[in-house]
């Protein structure tokens, strides 16, 4: 039996949490609540992109740590982003589609439109909800930028080996 890839971020000592999700460090210059990670180390976005093409085939995902919840969310987001990139024939078109996706509202647990009810706990306060929303915005923006670099070749043409995965449904959920 083939197993899903899990996050290596299982040690959560000293990591802030919101809605039951660890706010893991990111290798990012994008403003937001995420702590800054060492540029040489692997972060959760690297893991999500690396594991995406294998994990997207699974209908079930057993959660071994709360970082796996974030990995599930990012896998779903990557699937959604690839669906938006599917018809974009150039990097410029893809960038515009990803920017438009980034401008959309980011629902948090307990709000309509959140893709995984029950995966994360609803925010205990308005402040926690806003912290989690801002973290999700930051991590989605960071993921989008890195995804463009694998979904398109250096000459700006689509990478069919990535965009073909837009047709997949992750854990039987159709991306929006």
Instruction: Please write the tens of the pLDDT for every residue from 109-139.
Output: 999 889 888 889 999 999 999 999 999 999 9
- For the ranges 5-19, 49-63, 71-85, the maximum mean pLDDT occurs at 71-85
Which residues have CB under 8 Å from 137's CB, separation 6+? 32, 102, 106
Residue 58 has pLDDT above 80, yes or no: no
The pLDDT value recorded for residue 27 is 94
Mean pLDDT confidence for 45-74: 89
b/e for 78-91, b at 16 or more Cβ within 10 A? bbbbbbbbbebeeb
Which pLDDT belongs to residue 114? 92
DSSP 171: T
Domains of the chain listed by start with CATH number: 17-167 (1.10.1760.10)
Torsion angle defined by CA atoms of residues 171, 151, 147 and 105, in that order, rounded to the nearest 10 degrees:
-70
CA nearest to 84, candidates 26, 134, 132, 148: 148
Mean pLDDT score, 98-115? 91
Q: What is the pLDDT of residue 54?
A: 86
């Amino acid at each position: 039996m083939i197993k899903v890839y899990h996050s290596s971020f299982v040690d959560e000592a000293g990591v802030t949490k919101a809605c039951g999700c660890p706010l893991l460090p990111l290798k990012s210059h994008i403003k937001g609540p995420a702590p800054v990670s060492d540029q040489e180390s692997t972060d959760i976005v690297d893991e999500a992109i690396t594991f995406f093409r294998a994990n997207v085939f699974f209908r079930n995902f057993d959660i071994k740590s709360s970082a796996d919840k974030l990995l599930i969310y990012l896998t779903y987001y990557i699937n959604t982003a690839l669906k938006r990139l599917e018809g974009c024939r150039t990097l410029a078109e893809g960038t515009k589609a990803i920017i438009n996706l980034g401008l959309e509202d980011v629902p948090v647990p307990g709000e309509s439109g959140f893709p995984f009810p029950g995966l994360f706990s609803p925010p205990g306060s308005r402040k926690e909800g806003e912290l989690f929303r801002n973290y999700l915005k930051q991590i989605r923006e960071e993921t989008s930028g890195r995804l463009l670099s694998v979904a398109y070749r250096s000459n700006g043409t689509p990478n069919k080996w990535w965009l073909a995965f837009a047709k997949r449904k992750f854990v039987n959920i159709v991306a929006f």
